[in-house]
Amino acid sequence: MKNKLLQTKNEASIFLIRLMVGTVFLSEGIQKFLFPAIRGAGRFEKIGLPNPEFLGSCVGLFEILSGMLILLGLLTRLAAVPTLVIMLVAIATTKFTIFSEEGFWPMMHSSRTDWSMLLGSIFLIIKGGGKWSLDSNLRL
């Protein structure tokens, strides 16, 4: 099980996807604490999620930890699972409303980052951390 989790393709280009996904999640997680009214609890309350204070902090923490692990390429597959879940929830709670109220194209425009992060997370779960990752150097 440990070997499968750390096993990775030996492709240097995976680093670019790790850089994109890790940087966005790390930044968004930090912003949930810096700007809770617009990025964290306040946003979660606005879209009707339960217990927004707890959820804002919890999601922010997962984004920070997952983003850092992805950037390092450490336990990349495992770290990409929470990012995948976060993006599925984000699309379900915010983009379907835009679709029903404004239509397909406005929804596609406002969800471009969401789709990029969702597909980037899936990519990392499939491929692992790549050549320039701590995963490729660990032997547990």
Which domain, by its residues, includes 32? Answer: 14-133
The verdict on residue 9 lying in a domain is: no
Nearest to 69 by CA among 13, 139, 128, 10: 128
**In this predicted structure, what is the pLDDT of residue 137?**
84
Tokens matching residue 139: 């032997």
| Token duo for residue 4 | 């499968």
pLDDT at 1 (0 to 100)? 61
pLDDT reported for residue 128: 95
Helix H or strand E segment including 85: helix 76-90
126, part of any domain = yes
Q: Is residue 27 part of a domain?
A: yes
129 part of a folded domain: yes
Average pLDDT along the chain, 140 residues, taken 10 residues at a time: 72 95 98 97 94 96 98 97 97 94 96 97 96 82
